[in-house]
Amino acid sequence: MRLESALLVSLASIAIAATSVAQPDVYEAIHQRESILAVTLDTKDYGRLGESMTQDVVYDSRPLGSDYGGLSVGLPQVIANTKNAFGNAKVAHHVSNAIIKLNNDATKANVTTYIVWSKWDPTALHDPKKTFRIYERCDDVFVVDQGTWKLQYSLVTNLAPKVENPYFNDGQNMAVEGTM
């Protein structure tokens, strides 16, 4: 009888554990989604952008200037413009601080994130329009879309006075004029 009771308790525990998948809290879920989005961009896995962005996403980086940003409306346009902007360059997004403000029912959040974005074009290491670093502030809106937090809107601005070109310039730290 003891063996049967122990087996029954064990099976009940397993059943409860199998149906109780731990979910991160809402803040952690948004942080994870931001990190997944950065990895998706850095690995150029464009087909997975829909996992982190809504179909109607608006990505507005026009404040960076025409050489570094633009307006993309809708996921297909974001994918096409990102592919075009990244080309064969190596890119890295270093996501740091995020300030998250949820709406009343926790289905929408205003998120301010600070990112350092670097781009290295192996064919243009000395060209500050193709090889550079930008300190970005992203004022974003994340929403719950089919049970997952996704980016719906992003406004990207440059925190520095100019876009930096600190790489491959014979020790000169160049800043590109007119990118404020």
Task: State whether residue 39 is helix, strand or coil.
Answer: helix
The predicted-structure confidence for 142-173, as pLDDT tens digits, reads as follows 999 999 999 999 999 999 988 888 766 555 54
Q: How many CB atoms lie within 10 A of CB 159?
A: 11
Q: What is the mean pLDDT of the chain?
A: 85
pLDDT confidence of residue 97: 85
Position 20 pLDDT exceeds 60: no
Do the Cβ atoms of 98 and 34 come closer than 8 Å? yes
pTM (two decimals): 0.80
pLDDT confidence of residue 29: 95
- Phi, psi at residue 31, to the nearest 5°? -60, -45
CA distance 147 to 72: 24
End-to-end CA distance of the chain: 77
Residue 176 pLDDT grade (very low, low, confident, very high; cuts 50, 70, 90): low
Go through the domains of the chain in sequence order and give each one's CATH number: 26-176 (3.10.450.50)
What are the C-alpha distances in Å from 58 to residues 11, 88, 113, 145, 179?
49, 24, 16, 15, 22
Q: Find all residues with CB under 8 Å of 135, minimum gap 6, and list them.
A: 114, 115, 116, 158, 159, 160
